[in-house]
Amino acid sequence: MCQIASPLSPFTWGWGFLNLEEECAMGSDYKEMWEELGLDLEAHDALLKVLGRFYGDIYLSQKGRLKGAEYLDFVLSEVHGLRINELQEAKAQGKKVVGTFCIFVPEELVWAAGGICVGLCAGADIGREAAERVLPRNTCALIKSFMGFKLARLCPFFESCDLVIGETTCDGKKKAYEILEEFAPVYVMEIPQMKEARDRILWKEEVLRLKDRVEDLTGNKITADSLSDAIKMLNARRRVLQRLDSLRKAIPTPISGRDALLVNQISFYDDPQRFTQKIGELCDELEERVARGQGVVPEDTPRVMLSGCPMAVPNWKVPYVVESSGAVIVGEESCIGVRNTRDLVSENGKDIEEMIESIVDRYMKIDCACFTPNNERIQHVVKMAKDLKVDGVIHYSLQFCDPYTIEAFKVERALEREGIPVLKIETDYAMEDVEILKNRVEAFIGTLGK
Amino acid sequence: MCQIASPLSPFTWGWGFLNLEEECAMGSDYKEMWEELGLDLEAHDALLKVLGRFYGDIYLSQKGRLKGAEYLDFVLSEVHGLRINELQEAKAQGKKVVGTFCIFVPEELVWAAGGICVGLCAGADIGREAAERVLPRNTCALIKSFMGFKLARLCPFFESCDLVIGETTCDGKKKAYEILEEFAPVYVMEIPQMKEARDRILWKEEVLRLKDRVEDLTGNKITADSLSDAIKMLNARRRVLQRLDSLRKAIPTPISGRDALLVNQISFYDDPQRFTQKIGELCDELEERVARGQGVVPEDTPRVMLSGCPMAVPNWKVPYVVESSGAVIVGEESCIGVRNTRDLVSENGKDIEEMIESIVDRYMKIDCACFTPNNERIQHVVKMAKDLKVDGVIHYSLQFCDPYTIEAFKVERALEREGIPVLKIETDYAMEDVEILKNRVEAFIGTLGK
């Protein structure tokens, strides 16, 4: 792992990394594996170099970091190395790897069928040129990113997948999967757009259809025991993330928003049991800090909550901008945040049928902006902002993401009605707007009255 | 109706019409009615003026126009006058007016319940400033237009509506309706995203839910007779449009693409029976022309088909650009075109239940890009291009319309595989890009080898 903590802003490099001559690279012992996976080695090396520098500047440079953050650093440093190696070893033993882009995919089924579920790379301005050959320029950064990672052969997770599960949560992804399936084995789940009885019926059919598909893929029948184990394993992962979120309520908050985001990001691709254990240890440490009244920032630091679109690894732009502008982030109302961890699957199901019903119920609770109406989300945002005692909310949406950019109108109004200041940001993964963002965020934080 | 046929391009005026001092205005005898409807009279007058000039230049200036086009000119000149007056008179007698934005709404139910169904204004760069107060700038022109027409109080159809029926065909509309409902009585239908058995079940529930809603609104129960009459009336409208499309296959083609588009546009708001009769007469005239071998353009004029997003009144930009660049448009693969007219509702239903099933089936055939996969559309585009013996296809999509802009990739490839040239255009309702469009279209037409 690159240990450079440059005094320069990480953004001064932009992503023009393809010609970088840095010596510092992440996990360079895996060349053979990456070659076998068909990665573009030269571009991939350059990506790891810039990711290393980026991480050094945004993460390692933080003061008073937790001991438990060593796990985060290690996982990140081995993001395309050790974890991929584990996946390859599992595949050699006949296991199947399933990739997803959305928290709507009921991972329980994949694990219960003996598969491994991983979130796929979609948080960097990578392979944009390749992506724009098959997608309109006006497509959201997340979609261009996953297409770019695939077409530019830069994501070893993607290349390890035996199946990629998409979903119809937005127009952009729905239609992009039709193109992606020419380059990867893609299966698409239909997500309803309302939450009426008819929608639950459709969604249950989709859950059952996925069950058949993953059983087919893995060659393993899902049993009551395996499903129960998977439900418990993933609930445990959600619980530890809930515990983390709960500790962040403390004033002063014991962990930076960047680190907390990273924990959520890592939850999508590390082994769930290891993750739960390690983050449990990190939470123990945080608990001690809270007991001592020790914060990661002074007590009077403005507390900000992020709300909106997911921030996939390594999309740390806005959190960095916010936390280098004098505020601390204490919560993420996002798919890589509480939207993914708020609800558990009931563990009371006595047989497969009951467990399936519990899974159907749990996923239908997700307050994604793909639903209409989606008043639960508005209520959740307000409640969360109050619970976390935030001084302001930054609504983050990816440019061209209709569901969240349009819903931002209602979120803003609801928060303002409660007297909670809001800043709406629309951005992408490129670095051109960092200075403008910083100006806007600093001005906003300056108004928070602390 | 303004008779000016200025030698200038209509686009030199842009849409900066709010300060126009032209004397020529469409239908100025309805001031009192418009006032009662709450329109912004000054802005509305200006809109009608520019629409009149626009129409003069794009339509009235055409050579060798049909006698039957008098109906088109009359309807357009009375677009906000006589037809609105009819709606007001019907409302005075207790009838209800229902507005729609999408061909997915089963109009049959509205008419069968004694209501009147009209398409709502969404084809002009109107009220953009007002719309952008509640919608992101990066929203497609059609959505901004309907919001703009409503917020700027410029659409007498909108203001006549007792109910507006939206649908979840795209993210932009789905989320915009949540905002629109603060300003108008909105009801939203859920459109499935695939075409499997589960989707038909959901769609049938939605059709039945709409039946209840319109019965509730009008106070009239739908009967087997009234539904059968409505099915036949709307099938007759579709049949006359199919006849028109069929006549356009002739070489040389007997009617301009602009006029044919206008016929399709008018079908959304004129009285269906009058429309069917008048367009029948126009088709008789076209049939005579075809028999005489008389075309609206010379035989060797390049034949072009448009494919993609709908062109709502008064969105005539691209057709004008194409037909003033030496080509003739012979078909529209669009919601304001064959996507709306291709399929009939079976008239064999013996009772309400059977008729509902027929309606459900008919609407599920729509090959909207909201579906995944949507291979029927790709096949339809290719077949239509061959049937019409076109020299090239122009794929038209509205900027920020994910479904059609992404699907364009597959449309383009399928046509190229058949050796049919394609030009992909992404635009909006503003006039800034007209010269660029004209350059691109002229270059494309120049390559068509005629």
Q: How many residues belong to chain B?
A: 450
Looking at residues B84-105, what average pLDDT do you find? 98
The sheet with strand B97-100 has its strands ordered as B116-119, B97-100, B163-167, B186-189
- Nearest residue, CB atoms, A135 vs list B193, B205, B406: B406
Which H or E element spans position A398? strand A392-398
Q: Who has greater pLDDT, B148 or B449?
A: B148
Lowest mean pLDDT among A78-92, B19-33, B156-170: B19-33
- CA separation (Å) from A269 to A37, A87, A251, A276, A318? 18, 10, 31, 12, 22
Give percent of chain A above pLDDT 70: 94
Task: Output the furthest CA–CA distance in chain B (Å, rounded).
Answer: 59
- Nearest residue, CB atoms, B198 vs list A138, A174, A205: A205
pLDDT at A164 over 60: yes
- CA separation (Å) from A285 to A239, A278, A288, A347, B363? 16, 11, 5, 28, 59
* Rg of chain A (C-alpha set): 21
pLDDT, tens only, B208-224: 999 999 999 999 999 99
Enumerate chain B positions whose Cβ falls within 8 A of a Cβ in A: 134-136, 138-139, 168, 170-172, 174-179, 188, 190-194, 196, 198-199, 201-202, 205-206, 369-370, 372-374, 399-400, 402-403, 405-410, 426
Q: How far is B174 from chain A (nearest CA, A)?
A: 7
Q: Who has greater pLDDT, A1 or B268?
A: B268
Contacts of A188 in chain B (CB under 8 A): 372
* Structure tokens, B345: 């509702």
- Nearest residue, CB atoms, A193 vs list B138, B190, B205: B190
Scanning every residue of chain B, which has its alpha carbon at the shortest distance from the alpha carbon of A191? B193
- Nearest residue, CB atoms, B372 vs list A168, A199, A205: A168
Q: Who has greater pLDDT, B327 or A26?
A: B327
Q: Check: CB of residue A130 under 8 Å from CB of residue A152.
A: yes
- Nearest residue, CB atoms, A402 vs list B172, B373, B405: B172
* Structure tokens, B358: 């027929």
Looking at residues A72-90, what average pLDDT do you find? 94
pLDDT at B106: 98
pLDDT at A16: 30
Confidence at B450, pLDDT banded by 50, 70, 90? low
ipTM of the prediction greater than 0.85, yes or no: yes
Contact A202 B205 (CB under 8 A): no
Contact B171 A171 (CB under 8 A): yes
* Structure tokens, A321: 């901008």
**Residue among A327, A334, A339 at smallest CA distance from A257:** A327
Contact B369 A175 (CB under 8 A): yes
Contact A402 B402 (CB under 8 A): yes
**Residue among A193, A204, A178, A370 at smallest CA distance from B372:** A178
Q: Residue B134: what are its φ and ψ, rounded to 5°?
A: -120, -5
Contacts of B370 in chain A (CB under 8 A): 171
pLDDT, tens only, B408-424: 999 999 999 999 999 99
Contacts of B205 in chain A (CB under 8 A): 198
pLDDT, tens only, B350-408: 999 999 999 999 999 999 999 999 999 999 999 999 999 999 999 999 999 999 999 99
- Nearest residue, CB atoms, B400 vs list A202, A400, A426: A400
Contact B190 A188 (CB under 8 A): no
pLDDT at A426: 97
Q: Check: CB of residue B157 under 8 Å from CB of residue B118.
A: yes
Question: In the predicted model, what is the mean pLDDT of chain A?
Answer: 93
Q: Check: CB of residue A441 under 8 Å from CB of residue A423.
A: yes
Half-sphere exposure (CA, 13 Å, Cβ side) for B384?
28
pLDDT, tens only, A119-136: 998 999 989 999 999 999
Angle of helix B224-247 versus helix B352-364 axis, rounded to 10: 30
Q: Cα–chain-centroid distance for residue A225?
A: 29
Query: A with B: how many residue pairs have Cβ under 8 Å apart?
Result: 131
Q: In terms of C-beta distances under 8 Å and separation of at least 24 residues, what long-range contacts does B379-387 make, across chains too?
A: B379/B414, B380/B333, B380/B338, B380/B342, B381/B307, B381/B333, B381/B411, B381/B414, B381/B415, B382/B414, B382/B415, B382/B418, B382/B420, B384/B305, B384/B331, B384/B333, B384/B338, B385/B305, B385/B415, B385/B418, B385/B420, B386/B418, B386/B420, B387/B249
Scanning every residue of chain B, which has its alpha carbon at the shortest distance from the alpha carbon of A370? B171
Surface-to-core class of residue A388, CB atoms within 10 Å of its CB (0-12 exposed, 13-18 middle, 19+ buried): buried
C-alpha span between B425 and B411 (Å, rounded):
13
C-alpha span between A95 and A160 (Å, rounded):
11
Lowest mean pLDDT among A2-6, A263-267, B95-99, B283-287: A2-6
C-alpha span between B155 and B149 (Å, rounded):
6
Q: Check: CB of residue B381 under 8 Å from CB of residue B307.
A: yes
Contact A190 B194 (CB under 8 A): yes
Q: How far is B425 from chain A (nearest CA, A)?
A: 11
Confidence at A335, pLDDT banded by 50, 70, 90? very high
Question: In the predicted model, what is the mean pLDDT of chain B?
Answer: 93
pLDDT at B5 over 90: no
pLDDT at B449: 73
Helix locations, A267-374, DSSP H? 272-292, 317-323, 338-341, 352-364
Confidence at A450, pLDDT banded by 50, 70, 90? low
Confidence at A65, pLDDT banded by 50, 70, 90? confident
Contact B403 A175 (CB under 8 A): yes
**Residue among A270, A260, A341 at smallest CA distance from A296:** A260
Q: Check: CB of residue A141 under 8 Å from CB of residue A444.
A: no
Check: pTM over 0.90? Answer yes or no.
yes
* Structure tokens, B91: 């409302």
C-alpha span between B54 and B36 (Å, rounded):
27
Task: Specify the pairing of strand B422-427 against strand B392-398.
Answer: parallel
pLDDT at A121: 80
Q: How far is A386 from chain B (nearest CA, A)?
A: 25
Q: How far is B207 from chain A (nearest CA, A)?
A: 12
